[in-house]
Amino acid sequence: MSERNQHIFDKHPRRAKRYRIIKIRRFILAVIVIALIALLAIFGVKHLLANNTGYNSESGFIKYSDSLFKSIDGDMELYEPTKVQEYGEPMSFATNLPTTGYEGIDKAVADKWASDKKNFEEDNQTVAQGNQVALVAGYESSGTPYDAEGLAVHTFHYEKIDKEESLTEEVDCYNIATKTGGELTLSQMFFGDYESVLKQEAEAYLTENYKDNLTEDYASKIDSASGNFILTEAGVRFFWNSGTVVTEDQGAIAMTIPYEKFDGIIREDIGKRIIDPSKPMVALTYDDGPSVDDSTDRILNVMEEYGVVCTFFELGERVDEEGDRGAQLLQRELKLGCEVGTHSYSHPNLYELGTDGLQEQAQKSIDAITKAAGQPPTIMRPPYGNGNDEIAQIFGLPSINWDVDTLDWSSRNADAVLEEVHKMGNLDGSIVLMHSIYSSSAEATERLVPELVEQGYQLVTVSELLQYKYGYTPIEVKHYGYYFRDGGEDGE
Ligand code: ZN
């Protein structure tokens, strides 16, 4: 209080009282302003990242990486994180990753970080001193109403080179079957077109929440979130990596769609069908369908009766020709938990086609299956087993052959089919080739399935076999060929 004011107040005590009230009001106002700034700092972390100045010291990096961990919106309560922050010049690393207690998942997360780190070190070998580059990974996790948990690992890639800063964020998703600790495959979670729900919801969500930050081609990038989701308490939480639908400074963004929106599309039995990775498993596969006669239905009847699954590699042309009946068959396959793959559109030798021809086979078969089944195929098998990485990439799917050829297409005899299978002895980890278009193959299935179940085999889909038996996570777009046991490394 100035001397002059003091003087006035001495003469006018009521003014002094009013002044004290004004002071209190100012104090309260200041508190509110500070609180608002603090709230902004907490909720506006992502936006501040765009204007941050990074770090120049070890303590600065600790603070900076902590702020990145905190910028992940989701919950972290489910697992115990371990924080490791390694400052270096110019290269720094920080992780705040969980131990889930599920061996396969922990290994997958650790392997992913190790390979990211190795690539990062290689990419940044030549970065000069005085610059900063950092790789930082944190996570969010959630329980679900199912026998499942969701884990999303966020990886940040920061660099300040010649004072130019950039920060990108990518998300890797793991949906864990809690009873087995294995990763849930797409067909274990959905049997309908979950992508159309994503598309419907995303447009409104993005324009409402990120109106000023949408990228020019955001509409065409919306589907980059398909497959990139975790199940949570509230719904299916999809992620877009930074720079896809919104500008890079927004980081990766998420949208949770409530489960009600997936009514009739999401499985109710998620995590219920137990696959034990330590027990023998085999994948029965059926090419060239759906059948004109009742063979496909007979195969499905067996699957339903024994509560087991298999994989169908369908021909797009056959699906189209069967019309509504074909659609019903494909939907029944998915509903039972079977996997639906593509076997091309019209069964050509893919080695003899150019890029245009391959693209046509891929597009037309994927379209036919998507239209009929309500969801796209999740895997492919080239006709005659004639595939390679290039073909797999054009199809945008993992490509796989078999290791047990029953020769059902040539013998057309159930006894002969069973004999070929028996010749193999141990079937653990095998993929058995049959065709869903012969009644002899349907008969062989009717006899083979009870036999395999009796012997203690778990009958799984091809994607399940790759994940649970061979630990491919996620399934890469490449040709596993006949050598899926070695990751398809030996090519064709
Ligand atoms: Zn075929």
Per-residue pLDDT of the chain (492 residues; tens, 9 = 90+): 444 444 444 445 555 566 666 677 777 777 777 776 665 555 544 444 544 568 989 999 999 999 999 999 888 879 999 999 999 999 999 999 999 999 989 999 999 999 999 999 999 999 999 999 999 999 999 999 999 999 999 999 999 999 899 999 999 999 999 998 889 988 889 987 898 899 999 999 999 999 999 999 999 999 999 889 999 999 999 999 999 999 998 999 999 999 999 998 999 989 998 898 889 999 999 999 999 999 999 999 999 999 999 999 999 999 999 999 999 999 999 999 999 999 999 999 999 999 999 999 999 999 999 999 988 999 999 999 999 999 999 999 999 999 999 999 999 999 999 999 999 999 999 999 999 999 999 999 999 999 999 999 999 999 999 988 988 866 678 999 998 887 766 544
Which residues on adjacent β-strands are paired with residue 313?
A: 287, 341
Tokens, residue 358? 């391959």
Q: Could you give the maximum distance between any two Cα atoms of the chain, in Å?
A: 116
**Spatial separation of the C-alpha atoms in residues 43 and 138, rounded to whole Å:** 18
Write down the residue that tokens 């003899």 correspond to. Answer: 352
**Which residue in 172, 287, 288, 408 is the catalytic one?**
287
**Quick check: is 287 catalytic?**
yes
Residue 347 CA to ligand 1 centre (angstroms): 6
What distance in Å separates the CA atoms of residue 138 and residue 72, rounded to the nearest whole number?
A: 8
Residues near ligand 1 ion, CB 5 Å cutoff: 287-288, 383
Among 154, 343, 347, 435, the one annotated catalytic: 435
Angstrom distance (rounded) from CA 303 to CA 345 = 26
Q: How far apart are the CA of 433 and the centre of ligand 1, in A?
A: 10
Place of tokens 């709230």: 39
Q: Ligand 1 centre from 343 Cα, in Å?
A: 7
Omega of the bond prior to 290 within 30 degrees of 0, cis?
A: yes
Give this prediction's pTM. Answer: 0.75
User: CA dist 71 to 136, 197, 243, 335, Å?
Assistant: 12, 27, 17, 39
Task: Give the whole-angstrom CA distance, residue 373 versus residue 475.
Answer: 21
Measured CA to CA, the distance from residue 294 to residue 292 in angstroms comes to 7
Q: Comparing C-alpha atoms, which of 157, 144, 161, 62 is closest to residue 113?
A: 157
CA dist 49 and 69 (Å) reads 12
**What distance in angstroms lies between residue 391's CA and the mean position of ligand 1's atoms?**
16
Q: Which residues of 74-89 are buried (b: 16+ CB within 10 A; e: fewer)?
A: bebebbeeeeebebee
Question: Is 47 one of the catalytic residues?
Answer: no
CA dist 213 and 206 (Å) reads: 9
